[in-house]
């Protein structure tokens, strides 16, 4: 296992629904080979264009409950009436291989991940404003009712943005992605994440 608890850290991205987590994540994965998507499980219905095993593992409610019972989930939450949860093994496998798991999860899930991985890097993605958020939700095909529910939830989520390490505004997608790449690069160069190579060099100097 490669220094799982430090050098290779999970990247958690939360945002209100429609804030751009999936769009940013997809672009991030295309642009930078350090990242791997940590696919999560959900009981919600597939949206148009979504694929089982690529976007989510779509499971039944009873299937999800047995995952909880067997302790296979690193964290889980009920969001907008559906269950969502991260299989612990998928995050661990990505870290073991020396990649950065990208976790696009809700604010409660982010808090649970931080407990299990205190060295995780957490980013709260903000839409440029309420009008843009509404427009993006509608563009995605959410009903008027669903937009209302998501905006009401956004009010609660924004209160928890202060728990995150970074706030990134998702105005132009490309800029938000660049900002996150910058954050991850700076984080990975932190002295405490590089204790191993510093120690190795020190040993060579002492020879």
Binding site for ligand ADP (CB under 6 A): 15, 17-23, 136, 139-140, 170, 172-173
Tell me how far, at minimum, the Cβ of 113 lies from ligand ADP, in Å: 17
Q: 185: exposed, middle or buried (C-beta count within 10 Å: 0-12, 13-18, 19+)?
A: exposed
Distances (CA, A) of 81 to 43, 44, 45, 121, 128: 9, 8, 11, 28, 27
- Residue closer to ligand 5GP by CB (options 104, 122) is 104
For the chain, how big is the Rg over CA atoms in Å? 18
| β pairing state of 41-42 and 82-87 | antiparallel
- Residue closer to ligand ADP by CB (options 8, 147) is 147
> Which of the stretches 1-9, 27-35, 80-88, 123-131 binds ligand 5GP when contact is defined by CB under 6 A?
80-88
> Which of the stretches 72-80, 120-128, 131-139, 173-181 binds ligand 5GP when contact is defined by CB under 6 A?
72-80
**Residues paired with residue 91 on neighbouring β-strands, in sequence order:** none
Which residue number has the CB closest to ligand 5GP? 109
Q: Site residues for ligand 5GP, window 108-147 (CB under 6 A)?
A: 108-109
Decide: helix, strand or coil at residue 43. Answer: coil
Q: Which of 9, 35, 59, 75 binds ligand 5GP (CB under 6 A)?
A: 75
- Residue closer to ligand ADP by CB (options 139, 203) is 139
CA dihedral 41→44→47→53, nearest 10 degrees, is 20
> Which of the stretches 74-82, 118-126, 129-137, 160-168 binds ligand 5GP when contact is defined by CB under 6 A?
74-82
Q: Site residues for ligand 5GP, window 11-40 (CB under 6 A)?
A: 17, 21, 40
**Residue 104 near ligand 5GP by CB under 6 A:** yes
Q: What angle do CA 181, 21, 64 make, to 5 degrees?
A: 125
With CB under 5 to 8 Å by kind, the binding choice for 140 among ligand ADP, ligand 5GP, none is ligand ADP
- Cα(176)–Cα(180) distance, rounded to whole angstroms? 6
């Amino acid at each position: 296992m490669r220094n799982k608890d430090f050098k290779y850290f999970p990247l958690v991205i939360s945002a209100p629904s429609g804030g751009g987590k999936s769009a940013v994540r997809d672009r991030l994965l295309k642009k930078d080979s350090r990242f791997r998507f940590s696919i999560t499980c959900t009981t919600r219905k597939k949206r148009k264009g979504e694929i089982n095993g690529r976007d989510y593992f779509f499971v039944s409610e009873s299937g999800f409950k047995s995952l909880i019972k067997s302790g296979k989930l690193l964290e889980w939450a009920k969001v907008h009436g559906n269950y969502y949860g991260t299989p612990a093994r998928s995050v661990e496998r990505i870290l073991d291989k020396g990649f950065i798991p990208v976790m696009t999860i809700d604010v409660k899930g982010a808090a649970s991940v931080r407990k299990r991985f205190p060295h995780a890097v957490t980013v709260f993605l903000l839409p440029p404003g309420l009008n843009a958020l509404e427009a993006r939700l509608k563009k995605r095909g959410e009903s008027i009712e669903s937009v209302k529910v998501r905006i009401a939830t956004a009010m609660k989520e924004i209160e928890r943005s202060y728990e995150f390490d970074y706030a990134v505004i998702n105005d132009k997608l490309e800029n938000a992605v660049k900002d996150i790449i910058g954050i991850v690069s700076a984080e990975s160069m932190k002295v405490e994440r590089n204790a191993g190579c510093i120690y190795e060099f020190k040993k060579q100097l002492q020879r």
